[in-house]
A and B are shown apart, each in its own frame.
Chain A
Amino acid sequence: MSFQIDNLRLRARIIRALRSFFESRGFLEVETPQRIPANAPEEHIEPIRSADMYLHTSPEICMKRLLCRGHDKIFQICRCWRSGERGSRHLPEFTMLEWYRANSDYADLMRDCEELFRYVSETLIDSITISYNTTSIPCDEIFTRISVRDAFREWSDVSMEDAVRDGSFDEIMVTRIEPALEQTKPVLLVDYPIEMAALARPKPEDASVAERFELYAGGLELANGFSELNDPAEQRSRFQEANRKRVDNGYPELPIPEPFLEELANMPPSAGIALGVDRLVMLFAGATRIDDVIAFTPESL
């Protein structure tokens, strides 16, 4: 029990540190509605209904609309909901940190991640090294950047392209690549196959991949960021494609966020990222289960 109280204290301090990090860098903290008529339809994310609307699965739709209206550096810490997600690192209701930068791309977000880690670890533990799962994780260095294609070359028997084609991409990620990332300093896995990045911009020099990255530390997947797609026609066709795959897999078609698509043409080249706050607390607390860093599990209610 005292263990949980310690973790809740740590959690509060981490959230304070996150706020002061973004405020000191000129980001505006925003709040956007958590009940919305439509999320971005995703093949593998199930929203939860709330009367005639949905609980948001991420604040991305509303936050990008703020970019369209001229805000250039914004962040939000809020609750998000995803139906059916429950495991040692998943909760159906969890806390997300998202931040967005106008006139930027994903390289700026990767630097934000490095600075954020350094700031939080120095503020919290007066140290630049975190211990997690018997691994020491230095937070003061440039994170390792590995392309997804190279990670498949290194740790998988099949290439990234073949894995996408035969549907084994996610399985290889979970069983081969993520475990290989456990023993190292924080890793930025960059340039995901375009099929795996519904809202990200294609990389100009290689359209087979998107400017999307994931941040891993201690084997924990912490954040997902990308250069935002701001072509409304392309975005609409990707939403429709996601819906087609959902229907093929027996999931209901989801509504398309029309006002977002209408405003998207006004969005400057931007980049945005979502970081799981519960997982960040797990990392600093040395917890292997998400249950250990929250006040109540859904099962205990």
Chain B
Amino acid sequence: MYSVADLKKGLKITLDGAPYLVIGFDFVKPGKGQALYRTKMRNMINGTILDRTYRSGESFEQASLDERQMEYLYKEGTHYTFMDQQTYEQVVMEEDAMGDAKNYLLENCKVDVLIYGEKAIGVTLPNFVNLRVTQTDPWAKGDTSGNDSKPATLETGYTLRVPPFIEEGELVTIDTRNGEYSTRVKG
């Protein structure tokens, strides 16, 4: 159990059966009145933002969150299946909960999966992943149009803009935090 005195940014609590991340917090006290704790929280499953005001003496359930390294196995419809490599236990995650992570996931790659209760609610990717380009138009030599990027499709199906010199079949590094091209992998 947490008390209001434990409230701070980054705290994860359970509210109405869902995990919330505290993203904003302030102590307020109207003249001669009681201490109040204004909090802004994000639902860790659906992203909804919630404003709540608490009084001193109130308490919170800690969100029982577990982060486990798992292997991504396969996708079926809108379900993504992961497997714990130690216990061989499998969990299924809905596409909505995957967020942008689905753009960077290849079968058999290892990621950290966030588990709430029995439910997988998110994945944490490395900041940089390497993916192969499956389709991009060749660079027209002597192109003077001034374009310094062109569209490319990666092996995950994700489309982004890359520099003109990138060719089909090449491996590129993507920054998963903003989804942008970072560099070409030589080799």
Contact = CB atoms under 8 A, between A and B. Distances in A.
B27 A214 contact: no
B145 interface: no
Contact of A171 (B26, B32, B53): B53
Interface in A213-256: 214, 221, 224, 249-250
Contact of B53 (A43, A174, A198): A174
Interface centre among A44, A90, A197, A214 (most CB of B within 10 A): A44
Contacts of B57: 249-250
A105 interface: no
Interface string A166-182: 00011101110010000
A44 B26 contact: no
B27 A86 contact: yes
B28 A87 contact: yes
Contacts of A90: 27-29
Interface centre among B27, B33, B57 (most CB of A within 10 A): B33
Interface residues of B, number: 15
Interface string A43-78: 111000000000000000000000000000000000
A198 B32 CA distance: 9
Contacts of A170: 29-30, 33-34, 36
A40 B99 CA distance: 56
B38 interface: yes
A44 B33 contact: yes
A11 B9 CA distance: 30
A26 interface: no
Contacts, number: 53
Interface residues of A, number: 26
A174 B30 contact: yes
A203 interface: no
B15 interface: no
Contacts of B55: 171
Contacts of B34: 43-44, 170
B29 A224 contact: no
B53 A196 contact: no
B35 interface: yes
B27 A44 contact: no
B33 A196 contact: yes
Nearest to B5: A84
A169 B33 contact: yes
Interface of B: 26-36, 38, 53, 55, 57
29 contacts: A44-B29, A44-B32, A44-B33, A44-B35, A45-B32, A84-B35, A85-B29, A85-B35, A86-B27, A87-B26, A87-B27, A87-B28, A87-B29, A88-B27, A90-B27, A90-B28, A170-B30, A170-B33, A170-B36, A171-B55, A173-B30, A174-B28, A174-B30, A174-B36, A174-B38, A178-B30, A221-B30, A221-B31, A249-B57
Given A44-B32, A174-B30, A198-B32, 12 more contacts: A84-B35, A85-B29, A87-B28, A169-B33, A170-B30, A170-B33, A171-B36, A171-B55, A175-B53, A196-B33, A221-B31, A224-B31
